[in-house]
Amino acid sequence: MVSIDRLLAFAVMSLLVTVVPGPTVLFVIGRALAHGRRTALATVLGNVLGSYLLVVAVAFGIGSLVERSAALFLTVKLTGAAYLVFLGVQAFRHRNAMNVRTDATPAKAAHGDLRTILDGVVVGLTNPKGIVFFIAVLPQFTVHSAGNLPAQMLLLGLVPIVIGLITDTLWGLIAASARDWFARSERRLSLVGGAGGVAMIGLGITAAATGRSD
């Protein structure tokens, strides 16, 4: 199986990649600003589930198909980008419908917790940063002589998932706390909800415009 030194090296690499805010972090922040703490945490859960599905895909060879096909990579990337824009437009459209809440009043998830988690899964699964990292970096830390490469990748893949779960949760809680201050005024809450929607739209456009060009 995976040696301790390779596991630690991969953990360091994962931490360096994760601390740089990417699409999933910005998505969590946007959802936190638009809908609050509960939606942010459900989004984080969906993101890590979607990211681990990428690990599973790479471990069992599906990731290599995306790596070899520029068209398939582009399709996956644009699907995720379009979904981000859609969610951003929805958040912006409904910015005036948000109720003013306090910490003592739990915020209701945007479309229910399950729907929110599924939204996060789609974003995590189609995240170009995650796709490139798991396809290009993850296999390099396996030990071919030890055999059972899928199991090694599934184990290694848990490392960035746990790191992402912790860091994304912190980002979400920080953004939600800032939203609580805005929640003292309906006008300010409407503005921050609209800002969260605009942030997600901008993120979707940015995701569509960046990445592989071959």
Angle at the Cα of 50 from the Cα atoms of 44 and 51, rounded to 5 degrees: 90
Which among 38, 44, 29, 50 has a CA at the least distance from the CA of 197?
Answer: 29
Which among 41, 46, 49, 29 has a CA at the least distance from the CA of 91?
Answer: 29
pLDDT in tens, 132-187: 778 777 877 887 777 788 888 899 999 999 999 999 999 899 888 877 776 666 66
Q: CB-based contacts of 148: which residues, under 8 Å, 6+ apart?
A: 1
In three-state form (DSSP H/G/I as H, E/B as E, the rest C), the secondary structure along 105-172 is: CCCCCECEHHHHHHHHHHHHHCCHHHHHHHHHCHHHHCCHHHCCHHHHHHHHHHHHHHHHHHHHHHHH
Burial class (CB in 10 A: 0-12, 13-18, 19+), 14: buried
Is the pTM higher than 0.85? The answer reads no
Which among 53, 203, 210 has a CA at the least distance from the CA of 117?
Answer: 53
Q: Give the domain ranges of the chain.
A: 4-209
Which one-letter DSSP state was computed for residue 61?
T
State both tokens at 184: 């003292």
pLDDT in tens, 54-96: 999 888 877 556 556 667 667 766 776 776 677 777 767 766 6
Residue 114: alpha-carbon gap to chain centroid: 16
Q: What is the pLDDT of residue 5?
A: 83
Grade residue 109 by pLDDT with cuts at 50, 70 and 90.
very low
pLDDT in tens, 10-43: 898 888 777 766 778 878 888 887 788 899 999 9
State both tokens at 199: 């942030």
Q: What is the pLDDT of residue 106?
A: 43
Q: Match 């199991």 to its residue by tokens.
A: 151
pLDDT in tens, 185-212: 666 656 656 666 676 677 667 657 655 4
Q: How far is Cα 110 from Cα 36, in angstroms, rounded to an integer?
A: 9
Which among 203, 198, 194, 172 has a CA at the least distance from the CA of 38?
Answer: 172
